[in-house]
Amino acid sequence: MVRVGLATYGLYPAPHLQATVDLRPALSVKARITHIKTINAGDGVSYGHQFVASQPMTIATVSIGYADGIPRVLSNQMEAVLHGQRIRQLGAITMDQTMFDISNLTADGESVKEGDVVTLLGQSADHWLSVERWAEMAQTISWEILCGFKHRLPRIHSAPGPVSHTVRETTSTPVISSRENPTPCAGSENGKTSSVKL
């Protein structure tokens, strides 16, 4: 009998094991943009105004928060990926929502809209956002981060191979399908617009 533990997610339980076995991270966390707003210099973001803008900015609200498993201690520390570019999180992470600065994307003429998918953990384009980094910033261990993802997040299991995002007209939840299995293999859970993909 083998107790797999973190290796289920393709993560190493100890650094020295990286030379012993080749693991590939198999988890990503994604959510959709639900609101986009331009703020002015001096405007605060989220509860308590832990972040105050020094210049006009474009802020995207993403439908995931600490009730879903995003540690609130990561407020003003974490990053995500949108359209192949890193974006930084601003203000206090709330129960259901997290705010990100998308000013650089919109300034470059990038079309960002409500419904666009933001990657919080996992690989997106050339960027990798790791559970280990979250654990380091939160001064905890990877196990605690992984155990924090709540039942509110739909679990989406995708087949090996290239993965495409398919959006059903009836829901804004990310639906993942692959070439091997073109039928979407997950739907919405009470209209939630975020998910964990394994």
Residues 113-158: tens digit of each pLDDT: 999 999 999 988 889 999 999 999 999 999 999 999 988 888 887 7
d(CA 161, CA 158): 9
Query: Which range has the worst mean pLDDT, 74-88, 98-112, 163-177?
Result: 163-177
Whether CATH 1.20.120.10 fits 1-155: no
Find where tokens 């992470």 sit: 93
* DSSP E strand boundaries for 26-174: 28-39, 44-45, 51-52, 57-62, 79-82, 85-90, 98-101, 117-124, 127-129, 155-156, 163-166
pLDDT of residue 192: 54
**Alpha-carbon distances of 179 from 3, 4, 116, 183, 184, rounded to whole Å:** 32, 29, 22, 9, 11
> What band does 161 get if pLDDT is binned at 50, 70 and 90?
low
pTM over 0.95: no
d(CA 121, CA 53): 26
